Structure 1
């Protein structure tokens, strides 16, 4: 059966999107391999501590991004002459926010550590350093610019160079048998060199970051537009990472075993992001010129993402124990069952990524917030119930249900119900069979 494509896109352009995805795949595969090496080296307890710190910082860092990426892309497409103002304003907004989140992250961890009934060893320095690593993500506004020009390949090349340097550094730390804090320092270095790399590629393309300007009116406009997405991003981070934080009550080892499964399950989430990000400018343009074609392209996008993720979920469900044994030997016993459940969350993440672009294009940012809030609430409530009984298995079930609720929340809203139905048809291969029988 022929793999569905997003009909209506220029074939050469779509090949370019696939090529960019290939480069992203190389980078993600390298990160996955290095992550496996680090996980085997640290063992469940230390690996659990690392992922616990990352979970705290990731949730807070969702605020630092300010939900600006998509709006930067849209603003630059609509007002290309205002590029320096848009990028400069966005950069300063992020720098201020990320800088303020460093002491906040440390403070939240310190308070929770003091109140914990079984605190374990303090991780204050680790949390502070991980928050510092996220500060350098302020310069990801440059990535947003290249996305707006459908030139992500420049950023992907820089990311891969930085990943190779980072991989060498992490493997060196493991080879020397250095403690966890040195692994954490490599995360800080990763953030720094990527920021420098983005600046370098921007300058080499004939632009000048020093010409960027800050405009107060532009800042207010961007924040007003993106404020619902800030809350949405926080909610997404909560329902993707709160399970790790809540599992800490069971112990660092439980966090480590669950993280080993979850990290494998989430390793391919870059695929929908890469595809959806690449086609978003074309979707926006189609909406302006031919609304029916725009809706048809969304349906084809849902079909494509389903055809990518459904076979993977089925195969991994039946081979999860073998995969965990091969990758981790016997150090992460129990992670296989968690992986076989958690992998199905990817289907809803894939479809949710595509429908999020629809919500943004239509200006339904409040709905975007409500659906992620629903997912976060469901995840927290299920974790409170399931983690004490089933530990990591319970957390996996909670994540799966939360992702389903968040994605198909659109069915509850009359003006977005049609999109929810389109996703259901893609999920159950209805549109695929319709295309087959039409032939």
Structure 2
């Protein structure tokens, strides 16, 4: 299958990676459809208060998930792409690093909880979810298939895993299960994906027991990834702290308000997998262009920004007008969250562009800038939440999040070495390149 020739796009590069991107997108879309349908059912079953407990607990432990991931994923892909013969050492080293970090996160979460526990949420719920970081260490296999441009295996694991996960939650609803069983089911989701990755890796004739640990490689990976570890923490903060702050600041009604707001966030972030899927699949092509042809490299980056802007703008416009009807059809119990959804969805534009420009920062070795801009976004989000939540509730939270996303993504305009990329994203955002492609055909 080939893309039709489009002026301004590199036909050869896009054709090469079209199949891989399409398969990855198919897997993510299939997974999304299943997850969205089930999340709506779970939210309607648990209602605002219990859904607030569940989503707040997940958000709390999510803050630590970036520590367990160590920011290694893209560096694993890069290492495997450059040194395919060192596959077992790279995967074994990354796996042990991730498993160790996930294990450390369990007492770290307990320590954080003792210092500042969340109201209404029992610690045993937090404890159960804290094991997710440990079980997700086998996701290094995902990075292996990305480096091999074989996303069909990722697709298989995601669709089958999400189908089993959905079936589990539907059965819990049918049997009128208590909240705690839904907590266990979310931990089960992580275990299920890891088992799936293990299975397909061995089915391809590989053997996880051939992996080995390389101390020098571990030091190298941690040296390059530590800014992304801190950056990942900051991303977790400014993507999830809003739900936790809303719950705590709103007092007696905070848990129910957070539960309703969580449905808005879930719907708003429904397509956030798209930039990750596209960029993940095209990252090897971007690296090749950087090595072989600087002009083609810049062209691919501009095309990537254009694609991110067009997709996110279309999605934001649709959700803004459809928000009341979406809730009326699927979540009538949470209809008061529709205005928050209509605002929050505009943050997806900056998420899409931020994911794309993040790959540029990695390719150029500017990973410290990733830390700086996400840290800045986290600070902006926290400060604005403190100001806006007491006055505006969940609407203030949505506004704070969108502004934080914007500030984080476009902070690169302040640095000389990345300013050009900021201008390129602005050209995409204001559809300047779109008009150029139309009128220069």
TM-score (norm 2): 0.95
Q: How does 1:16-415 map to 2 (within 5 A)?
A: 16-113=20-117, 119-120=119-120, 122-249=121-248, 250=250, 251-329=254-332, 331-415=333-417
Structure 1 residues not aligned, in runs of 5+: none
Structure 1 83/16 Cα, relative in aligned 2: closer, same or farther at 3 Å?
Answer: closer
How far has the Cα of 1:361 moved from its partner? 0.2
Give the conservation status (yes or no) of the 8 Å contact 2:17–2:281. no
In 2, Cα distance between equivalents of 1:130 and 1:260:
20
Q: May I ask how many residue pairs the two structures share in their alignment?
A: 432
In 1, Cα distance between equivalents of 2:11 and 2:370:
26
Instruction: Using the TM superposition, name which of 311-320 and 419-428 deviates more.
Output: 311-320
Give the conservation status (yes or no) of the 8 Å contact 2:357–2:421. yes
In 1, Cα distance between equivalents of 2:261 and 2:429:
27
How far has the Cα of 1:10 moved from its partner? 4.5
Give the conservation status (yes or no) of the 8 Å contact 1:59–1:234. yes
Question: How big is the alpha-carbon RMSD for the aligned residues of Structure 1 and Structure 2?
Answer: 1.4
Structure 1 57/223 Cα, relative in aligned 2: closer, same or farther at 3 Å?
Answer: same
Give the conservation status (yes or no) of the 8 Å contact 2:257–2:394. yes
How far has the Cα of 1:134 moved from its partner? 3.1
How far has the Cα of 1:358 moved from its partner? 0.3
Structure 1 3/25 Cα, relative in aligned 2: closer, same or farther at 3 Å?
Answer: farther
Give the conservation status (yes or no) of the 8 Å contact 1:387–1:395. yes
Structure 2 residues not aligned, in runs of 5+: 1-5
Give the conservation status (yes or no) of the 8 Å contact 1:103–1:128. no
How far has the Cα of 1:105 moved from its partner? 1.5
Instruction: Using the TM superposition, name which of 405-414 and 102-111 deviates more.
Output: 102-111
In 2, Cα distance between equivalents of 1:10 and 1:303:
14
Deviations 1:174-198 (A, max 9, x none): 1111111100111122121211111
- Who is 2:421 aligned against? 419
How far has the Cα of 1:5 moved from its partner? 5.4
Deviations 1:12-35 (A, max 9, x none): 531331232122111111111111
In 2, Cα distance between equivalents of 1:136 and 1:325:
37
How far has the Cα of 1:376 moved from its partner? 0.5
Structure 1 7/386 Cα, relative in aligned 2: closer, same or farther at 3 Å?
Answer: farther
TM-score (norm 1): 0.96
- Who is 2:435 aligned against? 433
